[in-house]
Chain A
Amino acid sequence: MRLYSRKHLNLLREITLSQFKLKDQSTMFGFVWSFLNPLLMLTVLFIFFSARMGEAIEHYTVYLLVGIVHYTHFSNSTTGSMHVLLSMRHLTGNTVFPKELLVVGSVLASSIEFVISLVLVVMIALLSGVELTRFVVMLPLVIALQVMLVLWASLLLSCLYVFVRDINHIYQVFLRILFFVTPIFYDLPFVGQGIAERVVLLNPMTHLMGFSRSLVIGGRPFSGGLFLFLLLANTSLLVVSIVVFRRLEPMFAEHV
């Protein structure tokens, strides 16, 4: 088992900073652009679905926003992190350090945006008349869980991508499907009680969004049992993904 020292934490910070700079070129416009994309999505979904869904769901704008922010974070950071071993191939192939730090750094860099977005969502909720309760302070727990989910998915994707380049295309299709099997613009009763409901319930993103929505819109805590179950499941998958990653790591240098 490889242990991390202060040296590695320092390297992780530098990698995170550099990933953040590379993503937005640290320009104001680049940073704003990353918020424009979900806003445009919000506008489109609102125009098309608010008439019907908006009646059934309270505070539909905020509901949509929470869903979009969670989904955008998942899709953007897994896609970006999948490529990181290749986009940083100068480091992957020529320098010696635990390469999972590249993936962790990339996930952390894109999670900065996620945290800022959620803070904005809370502010928008406040402005649009949602009565916030003290349970909003539990949001960091949801953030931690979502980052864990993104992390193990990214670790697996990034090391597979080194060897199998077309998973890139397959993953884009997967993300498109994920958009529809996640209650972003609809709620659970909408899909009925058939197979669709089972698929939606199996999707961890469903529950993560549910947690955030119950904290922000519902003003009540989420189910502790479900949270613990997801925490346990994600921890196990994180361990598995690290084992797989390290198994494949010695072959990275000649394949990037």
Chain B
Amino acid sequence: MAYAVTTTNLCKRFSLQRERTTLFRVLQNRLLGRARGSSSFYALRDISITVQQGEKIGVIGDNGSGKTTLLKCIAGLHVPNEGQVLVNGSIGLSSGFGIGMVPELTARENVFLYGAVYGMDRREIQEAFSEIIDWAELQDFVAAPLKTLSSGMKTRLAFSVARHVDTDILLLDEALTAGDRRFKQKCQDYFAALRQSSKTFLVATHDLDFVETFCAKTLWLHRGQQMAFGETQDVLQRYTEFEVIAS
């Protein structure tokens, strides 16, 4: 079986100071050769994983463990400082909480823009539109600016569009987290139907039940380090033991 995503010794560093650069500072650094007094930290350190085509992978870890950074590196939004990422197939990234959608536009406008970002054309979106809105249960909010929606609603809307995305690899970043119980149930139905499909999923989530049910393999990150990558049962057991000791 061919791989879908491979990372080798992937490292990503971020600068801790995010002061705004000014032209003056750029010139100062360039002309006087003054290095930026920068302290940086590793958001990801030596991540080496191989995901086969069709695999459903859970990515778990506490806040700040590097889940989002990893998905963004795979998506090509971040360039690794060291190591490399290889991707085989078309890729889509969907996030929860309305991240990646435009707050000032209405729900309807966002569906069209978001769908187009994922390569759907206008006719496809038009045909799917009422189904997308019905699934997200947002019939009353089609004309409302996205910023007026709750985070759960935004999460539902984004995932409802993402279901129609036809990419080989789909990266879901907390895309299922903010919903209520009914939304969770719908997501589970959706993934249950997909279990045998050839689509590759990487799902970053705090929902361990979801990972246990749908992901054969799991990656556990802790402060940018790869703690474990393997069979979900083993990884989850080690993760819960670790959490107990840590607390």
Contact = CB atoms under 8 A, between A and B. Distances in A.
A104 B44 CA distance: 34
A14 interface: yes
B116 interface: yes
A88 to B, nearest CB: 7
Contacts, number: 80
Nearest to B79: A250
A13 B22 CA distance: 34
A165 B14 CA distance: 19
Contact of B105 (A11, A18, A97, A250): A18
Interface residues of A, number: 29
Given A163-B21, A165-B22, A14 B78 contact: no
Interface string A237-256: 00000000000001101100
Contacts of A18: 102, 105, 109, 113
Contacts of B92: 96
A96 B76 contact: yes
A15 B122 contact: no
A167 to B, nearest CB: 6
A21 interface: yes
A240 B122 CA distance: 32
Given A18-B102, A94-B95, A170-B23, 17 more contacts: A10-B120, A13-B116, A14-B116, A17-B112, A18-B109, A18-B113, A88-B102, A91-B113, A94-B77, A94-B93, A96-B75, A96-B92, A96-B93, A164-B21, A165-B20, A250-B76, A250-B78
Interface of A: 6-7, 10-11, 13-15, 17-18, 21-22, 88, 90-91, 93-97, 163-167, 170, 250-251, 253-254
Interface of B: 14, 20-24, 26, 72, 75-79, 91-93, 95, 99-105, 109, 112-113, 116-117, 119-122
